[in-house]
Every structure is written in structure tokens, then in C-alpha cells.
Amino acid sequence: MMQLFGGFSSRVYAAYDEVLPRAPGAAERVPLYQLYPLLVHVNLFGGSCVDMVEDALARLP
């Protein structure tokens, strides 16, 4: 969710990783984690997020 709509600065991610480092392969799983909230947005707000859903699907391993 932190990366879904623009994200945060690199300082935020560095601080996050100091407290709770991300597991190996986390970056590859981001599109999977983003898929559900994107589908909810399509359902609630219409087709404006469909392109983002397609992009997330294309980035899945």
C-alpha cells in the first residue's frame, strides 16, 4: 500500500527497513499485494484504475 499511489520518500523506506526489514523477494511481490486494493478501487470508482490493475498483473512473476 505504501507504494500504490505515489509512495513515500526513500527515507521512509530506510526507516521502515531498520525497524522491520522486508523479507527477501518482497519487491517482486509488490504487484500481488497491490492487486486487491486496485480491484477494490475499480469496483468503487469505475474504470479509472483498470490500467493500474493491468500493469500489476503484467508485473507478476
d(CA 13, CA 35): 21
Cell numbers for 37, please give them. Answer: 486494493
Orientation of helix 26-45 relative to helix 50-58, angle to 10°: 160
The model scores a pTM over 0.85? no
Q: Is the pLDDT of residue 7 over 90?
A: no
CA distance 31 to 34: 5
How does the average pLDDT of the chain come out, rounded?
A: 92
